[in-house]
Amino acid sequence: METAIKTVQILGIPFYNDSLETALQIAHNDGGLFLAPSGPGLSELGKNSHYDEALQTADINLIDSGYLALLWKKRCGESL
């Protein structure tokens, strides 16, 4: 049985937005492609179609940038 994955769309990328425990459970039960795009990588969006596609089709994109989380909190008032 697949676990429902909570995400938030940032820059057209669905970023995982749930607990570490749930991410580990998904990895253990369902497997899949987990990515953690870096800030510099995200700054290159639109310049490498293979990278863009990988992020858009990954099973889970983890937030690897404290700065991105800070900007999201400031802009939307939501914690990631």
Give me the residue spans of the domains in the chain.
7-76
19 Cβ contact list (under 8 Å, min separation 6): none
Give me 11's structure tokens: 């820059």
| CB atoms closer than 10 angstroms to residue 37 | 22
| Total-model pTM | 0.80
- Tell me how long the chain is: 80
**What is the tens place of the pLDDT at every residue in 25-74?**
988 888 889 999 988 888 889 999 999 999 999 999 998 878 888 888 89
